[in-house]
Structures are given as structure tokens and as C-alpha cells.
Amino acid sequence: MTFKSEYLAKVYDDVCKRNPNEPEFLQAVGEVLESLEPVVERRPDIVAAGIIDRIVEPERGIQFRVSWVDDEGKVRVNRGYRYQFNSAIGPHKGGIRLHPSVNASVIKFLGFEQIFKNSLTGLPIGGGKGGSDFDPKGKSDGEVMRFCQSFMTELCKHIGADTDVPAGDIGTGAREIGYMFGQYKRIRNEFTGVLTGKSISYGGSLARKEATGYGLLYFTKEMLADKGIDIAGKRIIVSGSGNVAIYAAQKATQLGGKVIAMSDSSGYIHDEDGVNLDVIKKIKEVDRARISEYVKSVPTATFTPGCKGIWTIKADVALPCATQNEIDEESAKALIANGVIAVAEGANMPSTPEAVAAFQSAGVLFGPAKAANAGGVATSALEMSQNSMRLSWTFDEVDAKLHDIMVNIYKNCSKTAREFGLEDNLVAGANIAGFLKVADAMLWQGVAY
Ligand code: NDP
């Protein structure tokens, strides 16, 4: 990583020394610092106050043992994490990831990105992230419940409706949030909006389940419309088939696009007639099965093992909605060769830095995760508002607010990129706009932490 600014080079060097063996975290920090070159030139007050030196260091991080008993009576041990990165503009907010690949580096990259994403929503939420290397796949409901209860037994000491409000992420859906909420209530004896992504029956928000995917499409539609392109009729690839992917595909279809491929960690399906989402929902949300089952219901579709091949399908729009670094340079070049017009990130950091550079130099419209997938956390913040007011908005009310938030995020990123002489670079626009609001709040609050 090379920087023009000596100051940024030194900050990045210090981060590398302090966080060795954390490649995902260093990748996320490097990308943001790169975007901040013009800010460092224009804002000596930010440099003098050590804002960038401080923002790369989490306010607090905890790691804890999570022991639980499986269905055979055997004791199992996992590792839990919560990184509370920044609370300058509101309580820490960010999901809980349950996946075997979780480690400190992954949680720190996600927590760091969350600071800027949450800032972009315009809502009062700080950044944080948590998780565990527990794998819910193949576990019984009882096992998942015992794990979640044990996880929350420790986590409840560190979170609260005005302190830190976790939500879902990979492996954490309404089932896991429910078990965690129940345990929090049991231990703390209080019914508060301490988690979002709750089921509707006990304080969840309508449209939260759909929000990240829908928001991604509101952003993508705006990004295309700004260049005079209509999303209707476009061929769209959506990777993943979890929460974000399913509702991205649903909104893409409602807007007149044609989703022709989806995937899970075992492979991808290709359906030129347009993916049948009822079949996908049954496989993924009801049966918790593998995506290969799709071809049993839709024999004209094909299933191919392995994840990378999905990016070799000819499409106009690519929406990576599975996991980090799923599009490398080779995949980006395959998409470009096939004439892709736009890429918008539903997952967090799904494109490697080389892939992002390839898209940008080929003139592909590129919506970075911090901006494009912010609809989930924005709607989580709307869930917090409803919980505080002890009332519920209708689906349409929440969806309309989500739509406006996503359009504003696009406009803010685009305008900021232009103001800093980086027209059409939404990566820089998102990083700078997200950063400046938090930096300003930190300046007002002094060197308190
Ligand atoms: P889910 O657990 O619901 O779905 C994840 C999907 O991605 C599944 O299809 C899963 O396949 C696939 N996947 C996971 N890991 C890998 C891997 N290593 N290789 C290939 N495929 C993989 O998670 P979400 O939909 O909630 O999250 C998806 C992404 O979106 C993540 O990056 C998350 O951080 C991000 N995000 C989520 C938000 C939300 O509101 N949920 C908000 C903002 C961002 P399989 O079933 O085989 O594991």
C-alpha cells in the first residue's frame, strides 16, 4: 500500500504493526486511508486532533469463551467477539456473524467499515461488530439455542439499548436474534430494544428482513438512473442466497430486472428464464437446504459446483451478496469482458482491491458496500426508534423511509466525490462523506477516548 501523504503512510504503518496477521482488517483500513488523501490536504485540524490515528483503533474489544452442550451431551467450546469501534455519533451498532471463518481480523474489518456506513445513513448510530466461529449449519434448534444463550450470557454485560445494539449478519437471522434477546431479558430483567432484526411479535420492524436487499436495489437503481440507464430489462447476477441475496433478487425482479443466477457456498444455479424466488425461499428459509436442490424443482436450470464460476455468466449488473473477497481480479475481468455495466456490493467488502481497481478503470459503475448495503443498518436504526417510542410503523412507512435514505446516500457519495475532485468515484465519496461526519463529532467531543 502506498500513500502520497507521509502522515497517512505512518498511520497505516502503525496499524500494520499493531495488528499483525489481520489481513481483512488491514485491507479495510488501507482502502479508507487511501480515500482520505484529499481530506488530509484540506483539513489540517483533523490531522492535528489525531482523528485518523484514533479512528483506526477500536474503543473497546472483548473476546470470550462460549461453552455449550450439544445434543449428545458433549461440551463444545467456541470463541465470541465484540468490537465496539466508534460511538462518536451514537451507540455502537453492527451485526453478529456466526460462521467458522470468524476471527478477530474479520470482526475488526466489519466493525471498522460499520463506522462509515452507519454515518452515511444520516442516523445517530456508531460502529461495532461481533460474532463467533460457531457454525449454525447442521445444528439442531436446541443446539443453536444453547449456543446463543451462552453467547449472550457474556455479551449482555457489554451491550444495552443506549450503549451497543447488535443485529443479524451471516448465520444470525431471526431465530438466533430471538434466542439472544430471550437470554438478555432473562438476565437483565428488562425489555428494551437491545437487539435489532427481532421478529415482529416482540418489537421487530416491518421491512427489516427485506431492508438490506431492497436498499441495495434502491441504491443501484439511483446509480444507473443518474447515468440515464433504466434497471428494467437488465440481466442480473446475485451471489449468495441468504437474507441479503433473496431480498435483493426480489426487489430486482419487482423493478423489472431479470435475475439469472444465485449461489451458496457449495455452488451456483443458472436459470435463463429468471430465478424462481419461491423455490429459493423454500430451500433456504424453510428447509435450510443446499441451493443445488433448485434444479429438482426447475429442471431447465443448471447447478455448477464452486462459487467463482457465477461471475463468468454474461450479465449487465452484478450484485455480490455472499461474503468478503468473493470477486477477485480474474472474476472482475470476466464480468467486464462480458459487458457488465454496474456492480453494487450487498455483502461487506466482496470485491478485492484489485477487482475494484479493474471495475473503476473500465468505467463500470461501482457502488461500494458501505453505501450500497447500508439499508439494513438504517432500518435497524428505524427499529430502534420504534422501540423507543413503543409504536410500530407500517411496512410502507418503513419502506418509504428506507428508499429516501438510500437515494440520499447515493446523492451524498456522488456529491462528495465531485467536491473532492474525484467525480464518479463512489468508493472515495462514501469513505470521505462517512468519515467527515464522524470526524466532526470527534472534534466537538475532544480527546475523550
Ligand atoms: P446469510 O447467512 O443469510 O447468507 C449468506 C449467504 O452467503 C449464504 O448463501 C451463504 O451460503 C453464502 N456464503 C457465506 N459464506 C460464504 C463463503 N465463504 N463462500 C461462499 N458463499 C458464502 O447472511 P446475510 O445475507 O445476512 O449476509 C450476506 C453478506 O451481507 C455478508 O457480507 C454480510 O456482512 C452482509 N450484510 C448483511 C446485512 C444484513 O442485514 N443481514 C447488512 C449489511 C451487510 P451457505 O448457505 O452455503 O453458507
DSSP label of 309: G
Which of 143, 128, 149, 158 has its CA nearest to residue 73?
143
Q: What is the pLDDT of residue 1?
A: 86
Look at residue 399 and tell me whether its pLDDT is greater than 70: yes
From 107, 135, 208, 243, the mutation candidate for ligand 1 (largest count of ligand atoms within 8 A of CB) is 243
User: Which one of the listed residues 93, 117, 129, 198 is annotated catalytic?
Assistant: 129
Q: How far is the CA of 171 from the centre of ligand 1 (A)?
A: 7
Residue 154: all three cell numbers together? 457474556
| E-only strand ranges, 279-348 | 302-305, 317-319, 342-344
Q: How far is the CA of 169 from the centre of ligand 1 (A)?
A: 7
DSSP label of 362: T
CA 392 to chain centre: 25
Q: Which atom of ligand 1 lies at the shortest distance from residue 110's CA? A: 34
From 244, 275, 290, the mutation candidate for ligand 1 (largest count of ligand atoms within 8 A of CB) is 244
Q: Which atom of ligand 1 lies at the shortest distance from residue 168's CA? A: 41
Report the distance separating Cα 129 and Cα 148, nearest Å: 16
**What does the pLDDT look like over 81-119, one tens digit per residue?**
999 999 999 999 999 999 999 999 999 999 999 999 999
Read off the pLDDT of each residue in 316-322 and give the average, rounded to a whole number. Answer: 98
Report the distance separating Cα 447 and Cα 351, nearest Å: 35
Report the distance separating Cα 5 and Cα 8, nearest Å: 5
Read off the pLDDT of each residue in 250-270 and give the average, rounded to a whole number. Answer: 98
Residue 175: all three cell numbers together? 431465530
Rounded to whole angstroms, what are the CA distances from 237 to 58, 82, 245, 431?
Answer: 35, 33, 10, 26
Q: Which residues have any ligand 1 atom within 6 Å of their CB? A: 168-171, 212, 240-245, 264-266, 307, 321-323, 346-348, 373, 376
Residue 30: all three cell numbers together? 488501507
**What does the pLDDT look like over 226-239, one tens digit per residue?**
999 999 999 999 99
| Whether the Cβ atoms of residue 170 and residue 99 lie closer than 8 Å to each other | yes
Question: Treating both helix axes as pointing N-terminal to C-terminal, what angle do 23-35 and 426-445 enclose, rounded to 10 degrees?
Answer: 90
Residue 449: pLDDT band with limits 50, 70, 90 = low
Which of 425, 426, 392 has its CA nearest to residue 409?
426
Average pLDDT of the chain is 97
Alpha carbon dihedral 230, 235, 237, 243, in 10-degree steps, equals: 60
From 93, 101, 176, 264, the mutation candidate for ligand 1 (largest count of ligand atoms within 8 A of CB) is 264
Q: What is the pLDDT of residue 435?
A: 98
Q: How far is the CA of 209 from the centre of ligand 1 (A)?
A: 13
Look at residue 448 and tell me whether its pLDDT is greater than 90: no
Length of the chain: 449
Residue 168: all three cell numbers together? 443479524
Q: Helices (DSSP H) in 289-425: which residue ranges?
A: 294-297, 329-337, 353-361, 369-372, 375-389, 395-419
Question: Of all protein residues, whose CA lies closest to atom 37 belonging to ligand 1?
Answer: 169
Quickly count: other Cβ atoms within 10 Å of residue 415's Cβ.
12
Sheet (strand 92-98) strand order? 60-69, 75-86, 127-132, 92-98, 164-167
**What does the pLDDT look like over 249-259, one tens digit per residue?**
999 999 999 99
Q: How far is the CA of 322 from the centre of ligand 1 (A)?
A: 4
Read off the pLDDT of each residue in 304-318 and give the average, rounded to a whole number. Answer: 97
Report the distance separating Cα 73 and Cα 188, nearest Å: 28
Instruction: Count Cβ atoms within 10 A of the Cβ of residue 312 and give its class: 0-12 exposed, 13-18 middle, 19 or more buried.
Output: middle
Q: How far is the CA of 242 from the centre of ligand 1 (A)?
A: 6
Complete domains list, the chain, with CATH? 60-190 (3.40.50.10860), 210-367 (3.40.50.720)
Which of 400, 379, 397 has its CA nearest to residue 118?
379
Question: Of all protein residues, whose CA lies closest to atom 44 belonging to ligand 1?
Answer: 347
Q: Which atom of ligand 1 lies at the shortest distance from residue 264's CA? A: 11
Q: How far is the CA of 409 from the centre of ligand 1 (A)?
A: 22
Q: Which one-letter amino acid corresponds to residue 284? A: K
Residue 282: pLDDT band with limits 50, 70, 90 = very high
Q: What is the DSSP string of 196-241?
A: SS--GGGTPPTTHHHHHHHHHHHHHHHHHHTTT---TT-EEEE---
- For residue 354, give the 3-state DSSP assignment: helix
The question of whether 437 is a catalytic residue gets the answer no
| E-only strand ranges, 28-74 | 60-69
Q: Which atom of ligand 1 lies at the shortest distance from residue 171's CA? A: 2
Question: Of all protein residues, whose CA lies closest to atom 4 belonging to ligand 1?
Answer: 242
More confident residue, 449 or 310: 310
Rounded to whole angstroms, what are the CA distances from 345 to 53, 215, 220, 302, 317?
Answer: 28, 11, 9, 25, 11
The pTM of the whole model exceeds 0.85: yes
Read off the pLDDT of each residue in 172-194 and give the average, rounded to a whole number. Answer: 97
Share of residues in the chain with pLDDT > 90 (%): 99
